[in-house]
Amino acid sequence: MHRGSSTVTDTPSLHRNQGVTAPEGFRAAGIAAGIKASGKPDLALVFNEGPDLSAAGVFTRNKVRAAPVQWSEQVLKSGRLRTVILNSGGANACTGPGGFQDTHQTAEAVAAALSDWGTETGAIEVAVCSTGLIGDRLPMDKVLAGVTEIVHEMAGGLSGGDEAARAIMTTDTVPKQVALHHPGKWTVGAMAKGAGMMAPSLATMLVVITTDAVADAEALQLALKNAAGKTFDRLDIDGSCSTNDTVLLLSSGASEIRPSQSELDEAVLAVCDDLCAQLQADAEGVTKRIAITVKGAATEDDALVGARALARDSLVKTALFGSDPNWGRVLAAIGIAPIELVADRISVSFNGSAVCIDGAGAPGARDVDLSGKDIDVIVDLQIGEHEATIRTTDLSHAYVEENSAYSS
C-alpha cells in the first residue's frame, strides 16, 4: 500500500491530506458555533448527496450511553442516513431526559434547515455525535443557531472536509483524516477524533467514514464491524471507555461501482487501520507508541485478554515511559490475566531483543535500548498457536497533567 503516492495505478493509495469529502457525493463543513468557551471550531456536518443513502454504525459498549448515541443507534436501524451533525464542547452524556430532547431537537433543526435548502430530510435521517465533558447540558441556543449557519456554509462550497475534521477535535492536537483511492474507480474517506478507542477509550472516539461505492446497509455493516474489531477495538490507551464512542459509515453510490464484499472489507479496514495509527500517535500525553503482541496462546481470546491486560497495566506503562526494560512487570501483569499460561514457559522480547526466556531473565536484558518513540513488546506463552496485538501508549507525566485538570 502506497502512502501519499499520487501516481495513477491500479494499486489503492492512502492520502492523509483528504477526508470525508474525497469520495464523490459528499459535502462537509466545520464552524465555530460558540459551544466551546475557547471560541474554537466545535460544530461539523457531513452531508450525503446520494444517489444512495446507505449507512451503518458501531457504538460504545458502555452501559452508560450518551443521548446522541441512543439517538443515532435508533435512527440507524433504518440503514439510511442523509447527514451527520457532530459537536465538540460537550458530550451530552448523563444529562437525563432533557439531554435526549436536546439531541432530538438538534436532529429536527438539521432536517428543517436541509429541507429549506431544497433537500427534503427527516430527523430520522440525521445522526448526531457529541464529545466533550460528561454531565452538562449543551447550550442549545448556540447549537441551533450553529445548525442554521453550518447548513448555509455546507451549501456554499463543495468541500469542507478539513474544517469538519478540525471542528470535532477536543484534546486532539492534530486533525485526523485519510482517503483511500482505487484509481478511476471508487474511494473511501474518513475523519476521526479522539485520543482513545472504540470500547476502551481515553476520550470519546468519533469517526465518520464515507464512500462513493455502491453498497447496501448490510454490506456496510459487515465491513464496519469487521474493521472495527481489528482496529479500534484493539487500540487501548488506558482501559477507560467513553459514553459517546461512535463510528459511522455512509455510502453515496456516486461512483456507480459495486465492489465485492471482500474489496469493501479490505478498503474499510485499511482506512480504519490508518486512523488507528493516527489516534495512537496523538493520544493524550503520549511519548511512546507501543504495540503489545501476545502469541503462542491457547485461543485468540486469551491472546487478546493478555495483550489488553498488559496495555492497561500502570506499572508496565510507566516503565516504558521511562525507557526502562523492566520485563519483570510484564511477567507480573500477564500473571494475573485470566488466561491459560505456564509461568516458566513465558518468553518476552522488547524491540526484537529477548529479555526473558522460559520465565527467567535473558543475558543483557537490562541493557536493551528503549529510548526511541516506538516499542514492540512480544510475549510468547508457548502453549498454543494464537496471537493478537493491542496498540497502546505509555503512562506519562503529560497524561496525568492533562487528565487531572480537564473539567476545571
Nearer to a second copy, 91 or 151 (CB): 91
Residues of this chain, 60-79, that bind a second copy according to CB under 8 A: 61-65
Q: Which residue has the cell 487501520?
A: 273
Please select the residue that binds a second copy; options are 249, 310, 341, 381, rule is CB under 8 A: 341
- Using CB under 8 A, pick the residue from 200, 259, 296, 306 that binds a second copy: 200
Largest CA distance in the chain: 72
Active site residue 204: yes
To the nearest whole angstrom, how small is the minimum distance from the Cβ of residue 260 to a second copy? 36
204 is in an annotated binding site: yes
CA distances for 351 relative to 180, 278, 374, 376, angstroms = 30, 21, 8, 5
Residues 214-273 that bind a second copy (CB under 8 A): 238-243
Residue 202 binds a second copy, judged by CB under 8 A: yes
175: how many CB neighbours lie within 10 A of its CB? 23
Length of the chain, in residues: 408
| Binding status of residue 47 toward a second copy by CB under 8 A | no
Q: Is 193 annotated as a binding residue?
A: yes
Interaction of residue 88 with a second copy, rule CB under 8 A: no
Nearest by Cα to 47 from 103, 125, 99, 148: 125
Measured CA to CA, the distance from residue 84 to residue 99 in angstroms comes to 18
| Neighbouring C-beta atoms of residue 141, cutoff 10 Å | 10
Q: Phi first, then psi: what are they for 177, rounded to 5°?
A: -150, 160
- Under 8 Å between Cβ of 320 and 394: yes
Given CA atoms 21, 39, 88, 269 in this order, what sign does their dihedral have? positive
Q: Provide, rounded to whole angstroms, the least separation between the CB of residue 167 and a second copy.
A: 22
Determine whether the annotation assigns residue 148 to a binding site. no
Does residue 372 belong to the site contacting a second copy (CB under 8 A)? no
144 binds a second copy (CB under 8 A): no
Shortest Å, Cβ 77 to a second copy: 20
User: In this complex, which beta carbon is closest to a second copy, that of residue 116 or of residue 358?
Assistant: 358
170 is known to lie in a ligand binding site? yes
| Residue 408 among known ligand-binding residues | yes
Catalytic residue among 83, 95, 204, 243: 204
Residue 301 found at the interface with a second copy (CB under 8 A) = no
Of the candidates 189, 286, 314, 193, which has an alpha carbon nearest to the alpha carbon of residue 246?
193
- CB closer to a second copy out of 34 and 328: 328
Is residue 284 within 8 Å of 195, Cβ to Cβ?
Answer: yes
Count of residues that bind a second copy according to CB under 8 A:
68
Residue 59 in contact with a second copy, rule: CB under 8 A: no
Note whether 335 binds a second copy by CB under 8 A: yes
**Residue 244 annotated as part of some ligand binding site:** no
Contact between 1 and a second copy by CB under 8 A: the answer reads: no
Q: How far apart are CA 347 and CA 219, in angstroms?
A: 41
| Residue partners of 77: CB distance under 8 A and separation at least 6 | none
Establish how many alpha carbons lie within 13 A of residue 13's alpha carbon, considering only the half-sphere containing its beta carbon: 15
382 lines the binding site for a second copy (CB under 8 A): no
**Smaller CB separation from a second copy, 158 or 405:** 405
The candidate with the shortest Cα–Cα distance to 96, out of 65, 59, 54, 63, is 65
The grid coordinates listed for 56 are 451503518
Mask 94-133, x = binds a second copy (CB under 8 A)?
xxx-xx---------------------------------x
Which listed range, 27-35, 172-180, 228-236, 307-315, lies at the site for a second copy (CB under 8 A)?
A: 307-315
User: How many whole angstroms separate alpha carbon 54 and alpha carbon 74?
Assistant: 15
Straight-line distance from the first to the last Cα atom of the chain, in angstroms, rounded to the nearest whole number: 44
Q: Which residues bind a second copy (CB under 8 A)?
A: 61-65, 91, 93-96, 98-99, 133-136, 199-200, 202, 238-243, 312-315, 318-319, 321-322, 324-329, 331-336, 341, 343-344, 346, 356, 358-361, 365-366, 395-397, 399-401, 403-408
For the annotated binding site, the residues are 170, 193, 204, 284, 403, 408
Residues tagged active-site: 204
